[in-house]
Amino acid sequence: VSTDVAEALSDETVTCVIVSTPTPHHALLIRMALAAGKHVFAEKPLCCGAQEAGELFALAESTGKLLHTAYNRRSDPAIQAAREEVRSGAKGKPLGATLVSRDYPYPLPSYLAVSGNIFKDCVVHDLDYLTWLLDDPCISLRAHASTGDGAAAVARACGMWEYSEVHLGLRSGATATLVNGRVSSSYEHRLDVYCEDGLVRVANPHEGTEGVAFSTRFAASYRAQLATFRAGVRAVLAGGPG
């Protein structure tokens, strides 16, 4: 155990690094780890800008190391099943989608201060996986966010937004609405994809149960994405692609 990053990265017995710090620190730590010859598993978002993301992946390629961005929703069994159902075409072309995520537990003020607000902390998950699930990139986006003005809400939110709506226009002509909120008595996540011949749904598995944290809802996907990273590292070490 070390509290010094450079010291930890100099350990030749370490082959992989997990970066799960607040987002503003990601890029520096990823650069340091790749430069030290480590494979990197980085929590989302990878960094704070598109150009910087490109530079990080270029660095990973030049060093021959794996850089994995952890958008864990893609590894969720229910979401993967919905993706397969949509792509099978059994219910026809997707016309639109509605996705609702309500976070729980409420973040600590120290985390909110470095979270990048609700868009980088929460919405980015849903924007990533929905366009992946539908295989339909976003071509237009309109967003709205707000916070209550009561004393309790102001004190709790620390200047951050507690509710957001994002409206997407997709390349196929389909539309989607992403609703995210901070205030909830339990973690909630559900998706309805409206197709020509029916509905494809990701249900909230803990409906009616209070006190369920996001880490419980997505426990299986966290394990699965780490397994994917581990398999990728082993492939690279064996001389193949990650």
Rounded-to-5 percentages of helix, strand, coil across the chain:
40, 25, 35
pTM of the model: 0.89
Give every strand in the sheet of 39-43, ordered side by side.
16-19, 39-43, 67-70
Q: Is cis: bond before 45, omega within 30 of 0? A: yes
Which H helix or E strand runs over 8? helix 5-9
**CA–CA distance, 171 with 169 (Å, rounded to integer):** 7
Q: What pLDDT score does 189 carry?
A: 96
The per-residue pLDDT for range 91-128, each reduced to its tens digit, is 999 999 999 999 999 999 988 888 888 998 999 999 99
Strand partners, 169: 140, 175
Compute how many other C-beta atoms are within 10 angstroms of the C-beta atom of residue 240.
9
Q: What pLDDT score does 190 carry?
A: 97
Average confidence score pLDDT of the chain: 94
DSSP per position, 205-221: TTTT-TT--HHHHTHHH
Domain limits of the chain? 5-72+222-237, 77-215
Give residue 41's pLDDT band: very low, low, confident or very high (50, 70, 90). Answer: very high
**CA–CA distance, 191 with 204 (Å, rounded to integer):** 8
**Which CATH superfamily hosts domain 77-215?**
Dihydrodipicolinate Reductase; domain 2 (3.30.360.10)
| Residue where the block lists tokens 């996705």 | 99
Whether residue 22 is predicted with pLDDT greater than 90 in this model: the reply is no
Q: What pLDDT score does 137 carry?
A: 97
The per-residue pLDDT for range 62-98, each reduced to its tens digit, is 999 999 999 999 999 999 999 999 999 999 999 999 9
The top-level CATH class assigned to 5-72+222-237 is: alpha beta
**CA–CA distance, 102 with 117 (Å, rounded to integer):** 14
The angle formed by the CA atoms of residues 214, 28 and 72, to the nearest 5 degrees, is: 25
